[in-house]
Amino acid sequence: MPAPAINSALADHLRALPAVAVVYTDLDGTLLGPGGSLLTGPDGLPSVRAAAALVDAATAGVTVVPVSGRRRAQLQNDARLLGLGSCIAEAGGVIVREGAVHYEWGEAPRGRAANPHDTLESAGALAVLLETFAGALRLYEPWCRGREGGMLLHGRVDTAAANAALADAGCGWAYLIDNGATGGWPGRAVRAYHLLPRGVGKAGAVADDLAQRGLAPHAALAVGDSLEDERMAAAVGTYVRVANGHGAGGPNCFRAAAAMGEGVAEVVATLLSVRGA
């Protein structure tokens, strides 16, 4: 299999920055191929490029941190299988760094419950949404179980209307974000949503993780496929959208020529070529 192509525009940008020490990558639709498989290319055929990119990054001393909407226990196990020691779960709600778990509280009131998930429930934020959008929004079973940083729902609602309802009910410190199209509701075209404390998200978690590592934003690169992923651009020196993704773009945003995990492989090959690895 030919080596991933070098992205010349990305390479030129990276040469002007300090060496990248950490790569934050979304999982589904980004590092993982169809069906959530690391070993499946965007065309549905077997591919080792994404896996090889993880090996190449580790060999060069570049830390890879998966950032996902998956719950912490699931993502922590996924990271272990990939040979990765850290991860950011629940769309930025929970950070795991070398086994230590940290909750991102944002604007959630402290002292009410053991974690942000339970705080959202005990404060009535979940009930507000389920009552306001009865029949149009529900918990996303079974993926909603075991969460700590926020809540996972699915259905079809206007997030602006949902957030207005939360504010009217005295839960303006919580907000609903759209995580893209999903399934699990027969006969309906539905989307997945995260209910989180305001101030919590992938970008904030990446910024906090970098601070704990003692690294400046320019020492990090993020890869993703969604608008929520693209918000990580504000916390890092470089953001790359894989070819199958979408986003608004920006001064430090680039587009990979390849999709999904092969796009991540393109990014890793490019940054290692700049480092001379």
Express each pLDDT in 63-116 by its tens digit: 999 999 999 999 999 999 999 999 999 999 999 998 899 999 999 999 999 999
Structure tokens at 242: 């894989």
The reported pLDDT for the residue numbered 92 is 96
Express each pLDDT in 175-202 by its tens digit: 999 988 899 999 999 999 999 999 999 9
Last residue of a domain, one of 153, 173, 197: 197
Q: What percentage of the chain has pLDDT greater than the value 90?
A: 94
Number of domains in the chain: 2
Express each pLDDT in 120-173 by its tens digit: 999 999 999 999 999 999 999 999 999 999 999 999 999 999 999 999 999 999
- Tell me the pTM: 0.94
The reported pLDDT for the residue numbered 180 is 81
For residue 63, list its beta bridge partners: 22
The answer, yes or no, to whether residue 274 has pLDDT greater than 60, is yes
Structure tokens at 177: 């974000």
Nearest to 62, CA basis, from 92, 19, 9: 19
Q: Are residues 173 and 210 in the same domain?
A: no
Q: Which residues of 261-271 are buried (b: 16+ CB within 10 A; e: fewer)?
A: bbbbbbbbbbb
Give the span between the Cα atoms of 238 and 261, in whole angstroms: 18
Q: Are residues 96 and 24 in the same domain?
A: yes
Report yes or no on 3 lying in a domain.
Answer: no
Last residue of a domain, one of 173, 197, 221: 197
Give the span between the Cα atoms of 29 and 10, in whole angstroms: 20
The reported pLDDT for the residue numbered 35 is 94
Q: What percentage of the chain has pLDDT greater than the value 70?
A: 99
Q: Are residues 57 and 96 in the same domain?
A: yes
Q: Are residues 36 and 100 in the same domain?
A: yes
If you search the block for the tokens 């002292």, which residue do you land on? 111
**Domain containing residue 161:** 116-197
Express each pLDDT in 208-243 by its tens digit: 999 999 999 999 999 999 998 999 999 999 999 999
| Rounded to 5°, angle at Cα 181 from 167 and 28 | 110
Nearest to 27, CA basis, from 55, 53, 65, 60: 65
pLDDT tier at 277, thresholds 50, 70, 90: low
Q: Are residues 213 and 93 in the same domain?
A: yes
Report yes or no on 17 lying in a domain.
Answer: yes
Report yes or no on 58 lying in a domain.
Answer: yes
Q: How many CA atoms lie within 13 A of 64 on its CB side?
A: 28
The reported pLDDT for the residue numbered 3 is 82
